[in-house]
């Protein structure tokens, strides 16, 4: 690692991440940055996609832009960091914090700040997703079907965090969810089946700790996929413990693959999420592709 004081840093903070957790973290972050002798600016986001603008504006003055918030904040800052060609750091302060699990979870705020500012910069992959005529990117993962409906349901849960929040959303979603007939094409190989969910991972984790794509690597030039065929309510509850351990590939309903390009067509419009954020409209056709070595991340 380089000495902390050698890099000029812009902290981009989403004050509403983690149900207000980020705002409460701010005084500690500022004191810590000053104590470490970091030359920094700190700006708060005010609206969706504002973090992307902040990561681009005045980028020439900074060596590192640091996302302070959840996975949605990481996504937005990454989009700006790619445009400005700046290194990006992450201080997790959201509800799920899935992306940072692929970088390695740390114990204390001090450790995350030190890694974000003085860590080793490396190039990682991102993914692009085209849906309903719009091109978007993701850094951690995309969920289609049940995974996305759980993410949508979890947005209404404010009194729980992390796995507890998502597990509660899983139970609520199971009571009303129906699988869809899908055709999934991965690098030319086509699978047609009634599909419960498709998870596409650049990172290993989704939903606050569900290891749907446990073998994914941020810099291998591929996206990992987890497909689950139609399953019953009771069967899902049986499989969930193995998803938390990342050992669910042993179940007959689960298919694990790796691809550079994925195309999903659904008989009926299905929900999707990218890095935990839910686009307003469902879709019947989704195109996803890896963009190798696109984002410089502090690790």
Residue 117, CB-side half-sphere exposure with 13 Å CA sphere: 26
3-class secondary-structure state, position 289 = strand
92: its two tokens:
């997790």
Six-digit token pair at 167?
Answer: 């597990």
Rounded Cα distance between 83 and 211, Å, is 30
Asked whether residue 298 is assigned to any structural domain, the reply reads no
The CATH number given to whatever domain includes residue 42 is 3.40.50.10330
Is residue 126 within 8 Å of 275, Cβ to Cβ? no
Q: How many domains does the chain have?
A: 2
Tell me the C-alpha to C-alpha distance, in Å, between residue 196 and each of 145, 178, 233, 235: 6, 8, 11, 12
For position 59, what pLDDT does the model report?
59
pLDDT tens digits, the chain, 299 residues: what are they?
555 667 899 999 999 988 778 888 999 999 999 999 999 999 999 999 999 999 988 657 899 999 999 999 999 999 999 999 999 999 999 988 999 999 999 999 999 999 999 999 999 999 999 998 899 999 999 999 998 998 888 888 877 776 788 888 889 999 899 999 999 999 999 999 999 999 999 999 998 899 999 999 999 999 999 999 999 999 999 999 999 999 999 999 999 999 999 999 999 999 999 998 998 899 999 999 999 999 999 99
Q: Do 252 and 183 belong together in one domain?
A: yes
Whether residue 278 sits in one domain with residue 141: yes
Inter-residue contact 66 to 54 (CB < 8 Å) = no
- What's the DSSP call for residue 206? B
Domain endpoint, select from 88, 119, 150: 119
Looking at residue 245, what is its pLDDT?
Answer: 95
Position 95 in a domain: yes
What pLDDT is stored for residue 4 in this prediction?
67
| Residue 252 sits in the same domain as residue 271 | yes
- Identify the CATH number of the domain in which residue 135 sits: 2.60.200.40
3-state secondary structure 149-180: HHHHHHCCCCCCCHHHHHHHHHHHHHCCCCCE
| 193 and 182 Cβ atoms separated by less than 8 Å | yes
**Which of 119, 141, 164 represents a domain boundary (last residue)?**
119
Distance, CA of 179 to CA of 177 (rounded, Å):
7
- Clarify whether residues 78 and 11 are in a common domain: yes
Tell me which residue of 271, 282, 232 sits closest to 147, measured CA to CA.
Answer: 271
**Beta carbons of 273 and 71 less than 8 angstroms apart:** no
């Amino acid at each position: 690692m380089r000495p902390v004081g050698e890099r000029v840093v812009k902290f981009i903070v989403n004050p509403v991440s983690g149900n207000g957790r980020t705002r409460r973290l701010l005084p500690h972050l500022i004191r810590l940055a000053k104590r470490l002798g970091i030359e920094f600016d700190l700006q708060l986001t005010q609206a969706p996609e504002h973090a992307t603008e902040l990561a681009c504006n005045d980028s020439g003055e900074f060596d590192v832009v640091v996302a302070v918030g959840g996975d949605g904040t990481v996504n937005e800052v990454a989009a700006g960091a790619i445009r400005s060609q700046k290194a990006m750091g992450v201080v997790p302060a959201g509800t799920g914090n899935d992306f940072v699990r692929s970088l390695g979870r740390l114990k204390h705020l001090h450790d995350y700040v030190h890694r974000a500012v003085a860590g080793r910069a490396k190039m990682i992959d991102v993914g692009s997703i085209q849906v309903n005529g719009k091109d978007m990117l993701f850094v951690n993962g995309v969920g289609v079907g049940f995974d996305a409906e759980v993410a949508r349901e979890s947005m209404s849960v404010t009194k729980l965090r992390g796995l507890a929040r998502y597990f509660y959303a899983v139970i609520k979603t199971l009571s009303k969810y129906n699988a869809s007939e899908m055709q999934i094409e991965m690098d030319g190989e086509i699978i047609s089946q009634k599909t419960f969910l498709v998870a596409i991972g650049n990172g290993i984790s989704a939903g606050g700790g569900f290891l749907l794509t446990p073998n994914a690597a941020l810099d291998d030039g591929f996206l990992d996929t987890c497909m689950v065929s139609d399953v019953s309510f009771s069967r899902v509850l049986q499989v969930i413990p193995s998803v938390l351990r990342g050992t669910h590939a042993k179940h007959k309903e689960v298919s694990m693959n790796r691809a550079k390009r994925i195309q999903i067509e659904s008989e009926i419009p299905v929900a999707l999420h990218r890095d935990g954020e839910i686009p307003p409209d469902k879709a019947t056709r989704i195109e996803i592709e890896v963009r190798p070595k696109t984002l410089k991340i502090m690790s």
